Amino acid sequence: MLMVKIPYYMPLASMNDLARLASALEVVPLPVYSFRLQNTDVLAVGINIGLTRPLFCYINAECTGEFIAYRVYMGSEEVSMVNAASNPAYAYAPIIRVTEMPRRFFKGRRDMQPESIVMRDLASLAKLVLYRYMREEVLTPLFLMRRHGIDGKTGSDKGKKGDGADAITIGMFMHGNEDGVPYFCYTPLDHMPEGNFVMYSSQSGEEPEFTNDIDGHGYVYMKVIRMKDQQA
């Protein structure tokens, strides 16, 4: 009998983060599912980032259209819910309305409790994303949070920048050991970045930087997804 593993569920900060996750830098936008989660209407995107369980990133929101339209224009994001995919200037993530999800998807739903791997700097994190992209052709999103509160641990980063209740960290999830425990590879930041993407070039010798402009040539762009603020 095929065993379906209970997904992880991770709340995002905003509709823009959901739209960016589903559409930005994607050849084909990912579908957005509309269903009920804990008696609340949600929009969720399921992503494959190499974990042993499915990961649904979601926001609390009602479905008011058939597609989520997304584009980056002159350094600004434009996001709206529309009924027709009629403007080729936008990427359109289709909204899939689900009346009923399998009960096993919610029964004993799993909270992600990853092991932490602390990167020395943003360049090390960017190179890790680039390596996976070159090897597996998967451009892993970078998850940004106000504090490292996924597992409630500070680990080896204690005392470094980003430590404490107001820490800001950015990182990527990776498949862990044979037991299926995921890793969160992250680096602490000294301030909350404004950019929604990280631009990096392994050939220029430049340090990676946050940006809202993804039109430059010679760079790999990595989308930044803001998670809903973690609770202490």
* Domain spans of the chain, in order of start: 8-105, 115-226
pLDDT per residue rounded down to tens, the chain (232 residues): 455 677 888 999 999 999 999 999 999 999 999 998 878 999 999 998 877 788 899 999 999 999 999 999 999 999 999 999 999 999 999 999 999 877 777 665 556 677 889 999 999 999 999 998 888 888 899 999 986 444 434 344 444 454 554 689 999 998 766 666 788 999 999 999 999 999 999 888 899 999 999 998 899 999 999 999 754 3
**CB 37, CB 12: distance < 8 Å:** no
Residue 86, CA distances (Å) to 50, 67, 72, 149 in order:
34, 10, 17, 41
How far apart, in whole angstroms, are the C-alpha atoms of residue 195 and residue 16? Answer: 13
Q: pTM for this structure?
A: 0.87
